[in-house]
Amino acid sequence: MSRPFRQVDVFTTTPYHGNPVAVVLDGDGLTTEAMRRFATWTNLSETTFVLSPDAAGADYRVRIFTPTSELPFAGHPTLGTCHAWLSAGGTPHDPDRIVQECGVGLVAVRRSAGGLAFAAPPLLRSGPVAEPLVRHIASVLRIDRTDLVDAQWVDNGPGWVAVLLASADAVLALRPGTVDLDVGVVGPYPPGSTQAFEVRAFSPQITAVEDPVTGSLNASLAQWLLATGRAHAPYVVSQGTVLGRTGRVHIARDPNGAIWVGGGTVTCIMGQVDL
């Protein structure tokens, strides 16, 4: 069966400078095995399948696959899927708010000055990281334990644990070994810089190499950094620099305290796939 397809670059307005996601726009009727097989074949960090919603109030439902597993939530696939759904003629119930149904429940998406933005979902796990794991993270990152300013569980689905380094330059200088857990690294730029932080993401369940730009991680990092006073919204994160990308993630907080994670989205491939 021929199904509409988009490949969308996310967290950029310049094609091929962000993080791509493959989107199958009519996933109804596909088996889980067919979805897994296609996601493995695309070999992108994530492939999504748009389905008819089950939950009241949802505009569409999405299933998110890496080449090896299914994720309950991921950020750049959320924005890329919403972009593809809207560009294919999707009409939300509320013109100011698109509601995506996924493994963590309902996620709101809105249009913003920086592009599309999703509301950061609640953390599934937070709190301090046990010292043996902190030492292990330092080891796989190939840095001294004393280089880690702080560490925190920031899991909103994929399983992230975050570590803070002293500076963006320290983040950019990392040359890790084999990273065997989902770890995000963040470091601040000097005051007055265009970007507030540099972020890098390593997730063996998403990709065997570094993930270029990561919405879920930036969502949970924002919750941690804002709560500890290390960041003040709105701010902009750069990610993917070491990989030659220019990903930009826009973080905002509304008057109700909700954190929004946004960025540009642009269609790079459009057509049909036989599934």
Active site residues: 46
How many residues are there in the chain?
A: 275
Asked whether the beta carbons of 8 and 265 are under 8 A apart, the reply is yes
Kindly report the number of other CB atoms within 10 A of residue 81's CB atom: 34
Asked whether the beta carbons of 247 and 201 are under 8 A apart, the reply is no
Helix, strand, coil share of the chain (percent; to 5): 20, 35, 40
Helices 215-227 and 75-87: crossing angle, nearest 10°? Answer: 120
241 vs 248: CA distance, rounded Å: 10
Given phi > 0 = left and psi -120 to 50 = alpha, else beta, which region is 57?
A: left
Q: DSSP of 223-269, one letter per residue?
A: HHHHHTTS--SSEEEEE-GGGT--EEEEEEE-TT--EEEEE-EEEEE
153 vs 6: CA distance, rounded Å: 34
